Amino acid sequence: MELLAFGDTGWGDELFRATLMTIAVSITAMLIGFTFAAIFTPLKLSKYKSLNYIANTYTTIIRGVPELLVIYLFFFGGSGAIMFVASMFGYNEYIEINAFVTGSFAIGIISGAYSTEVFRGAIQSIDKGQFEAAEVLGFSKFKKFYKIILPQMLRLAIPNLSNVWQITLKDTSLISVTGLVEIMRQSYIAAGSTRDPLFFYSFAAVLYLLLTFLSMKLINRLEVKYSRGY
């Protein structure tokens, strides 16, 4: 227990901050993922074959290639890509992007592929009559989406999105290879300096379990909220 004391003598406060970092990266990655899903879900559902093809390439690659490899691509290739773009605008200094941005972007792209599939499934399982009814009633395209499709889609998507959240949360542990101090990295540092890996990695496992447990509780509440009227 001394090992977990807050302050200079223990690792309590460091691990607490690391846990906050894990939560921050997970949420950022999830939001980036939603942005990708918002772009690729319409492409998947589009009637144009070429647009479907683009979206399918994205989801197939991400779901078929290990997360760690994607993270290495971003970790080693990220600043190179940014510098290449910047050089086109005449900026030739060295640019370093921090581990938080690289990490949440890499995990976000992965999480986005899963979210895209979830949203696609949810929209496809909405009754066709709902779309037709909205059109017959003269809703504008915008209103049709926000007032009729989106609420029904969310209800159907939330249970599967909670899976995506769990996957995303666990995937953030992989960012530790880039040096971002989240739960895994902090445990690695603590384990190295105290020579007590068993304790710190087990404690990390407990922290992850706690996070998944608490987020499940929260998501269940959301589920209840969005299934009002059913």
Among 3, 95, 177, 219, binds another protein (CB under 8 A): 177
Instruction: Please give the residues from 32 up to 61 whose contact with another protein meets the rule CB under 8 A.
Output: 60-61
Residue 179 touching another protein (CB under 8 A): no
Shortest distance in whole angstroms from residue 139 CB to another protein: 37
Burial (CB < 10 A; 0-12, 13-18, 19+), residue 159, is middle
Does 198 participate in binding another protein (rule CB under 8 A)? yes
Phi-psi region of 116 (alpha: psi -120 to 50; beta: other; left: phi over 0): alpha
Residue with smaller CB distance to another protein, 58 or 134: 58
Choosing from 7, 64, 138, 229, the residue that interacts with another protein (CB under 8 A) is 64
- Pick the binder of another protein from 5, 66, 133, 147 (CB under 8 A): 66
Judged by beta carbon, residue 1 or residue 198, the one nearer another protein is 198
* Residue with smaller CB distance to another protein, 58 or 153: 58
Site for another protein in 3-32 (CB under 8 A): none
Asked whether 219 and 184 are in contact (CB, 8 A), the reply is: no
- Cα separation, 44 vs 112, in Å, equals 13
Residues in contact with another protein by CB under 8 A are: 60-61, 63-69, 72-73, 76-77, 80, 166, 170-171, 173-174, 176-177, 184, 187-188, 191, 195-198, 201-202, 204-205, 208-209, 212-213
